[in-house]
Amino acid sequence: MDNTKKVEEKLLDPQRVHPELRQMFEATPPSSFTWEGLVQMREMMNGMMFGFAPPADPDVVITNRTVPGAPGDPEVRVRLYEPKEKKTPCPGIVYIHGGGYIVGTPETTDFSCVRLAKEIGCVVVSVDSRLAPETPYPGPLEDCYAALKWLADNAAELGVDTERLAITGGSAGGGLTAGLALLTRDRGYPKLKFQAPLYPMIDDRNITPSSYEFTDRRLWNREKNEFGWKAYLGDLYGKDDVPIYAAPARATDLSGLPPTYTFVGELDLFRDETTDYVTRLMQAGVSVEYHIYPGCTHGFDMNVMTEIGRRAEADYVRAMKEALTK
């Protein structure tokens, strides 16, 4: 079912936006995506994210490696973050960057990965999953599974405890996290201790009230969301038989998934699909911690210059640490 009917843009009242985020929101120019401008957009957005990159941390060693891809697929580049003083065996985390399935690199999430490695004392494997539309589903998800399998298969060499494996990511990275949790459950390997799909992009149908509410082109809005899903799903877009691993909101059986932490902004298009997802997780017997941040827009946590961004990041790290050090 194709729900890409044209919806008139409605500007978001700045007074609804959290005071710390309001000035940046008002200064953000409206934007739209085009296939022709995709390469330039990637360069621009990656450049913006590098602006948030932290200075080098002497306590965390960062290396780039390549790991085997799925059969018939190319090798996958991963970015490895390890505490210099590592107590082994330690937890292992696979981190999946966001970017609407169409932009992003592991380097753009250095801040979060360094913090997780340092504060939890764990090994973080950040995946350079291939991007759509050049590589539609299932390629990017298989890249993430390949990284997770490599982490589990090489746990002894890496000093990782296979009983304490977790997966996480935000936005499209959250969608890949939720899809990877389902895929790992159904393949039976490896066992996951925890997942944290943050404000995940999980519903290709765009049928929730919040997917109609947020059309302002200064936001990740309905138009951009449709663009990302068309790129990721390719010929599957608009069909009724989209696999649950591609769009986890379509999954009817969420039993057997690992305990889950997530959050979303009140003014995020993904608010309602996230709320529905965690509600159904709990109904399936999965333990969940869920936060909605008032007045916050999509990706607000990446702005660590704000107190609200730092608070969301700190709470996320706290939840990951509690889950993996019990």
**Looking at 143, 203, 216, 268, which residue is catalytic?**
268
211 given a catalytic annotation: no
Residue 124 included in any domain: yes
Is residue 294 exposed (0-12), middle (13-18) or buried (19+ Cβ within 10 Å)? exposed
298 given a catalytic annotation: yes
In tens, the pLDDT along 72-95 reads 999 999 999 999 999 999 999 999
**Looking at 143, 210, 272, 298, which residue is catalytic?**
298
Residue 5 included in any domain: no
The CA-based dihedral angle spanning residues 138, 141, 147, 152, taken in that order and rounded to the nearest 10 degrees: -100
186 given a catalytic annotation: no
Residue 4 included in any domain: no
Could you tell me if 270 and 210 are in contact, meaning their C-beta atoms sit under 8 angstroms apart? yes
| Cα four-point dihedral sign 202, 205, 208, 210 | positive
Structure tokens at 155: 């746990």
Residues contacting residue 13 through CB under 8 Å, at least 6 positions apart = none
**Looking at 112, 171, 210, 211, which residue is catalytic?**
171
Residue 2 included in any domain: no
Residue 8 included in any domain: no
Residues contacting residue 155 through CB under 8 Å, at least 6 positions apart = 89, 92, 161, 162
Residues contacting residue 22 through CB under 8 Å, at least 6 positions apart = 14, 15
Specify the pLDDT at position 43: 85
Structure tokens at 178: 């939720």
What's the structural domain count of the chain?
1
Specify the pLDDT at position 52: 56
Stretches in the chain below the pLDDT threshold 50: none
Q: What are phi and psi of 289, to 5 degrees?
A: -120, 125
Q: What is the CATH number of the domain that holds 81?
A: 3.40.50.1820
> How many angstroms separate the Cα of 180 from the Cα of each of 36, 107, 166, 177, 233?
30, 21, 11, 5, 16
Specify the pLDDT at position 6: 74
Provide the domain limits for residue 71.
Answer: 14-324
Residue 107 included in any domain: yes
Structure tokens at 118: 């340092």
Residues contacting residue 235 through CB under 8 Å, at least 6 positions apart = none
Residue 9 included in any domain: no
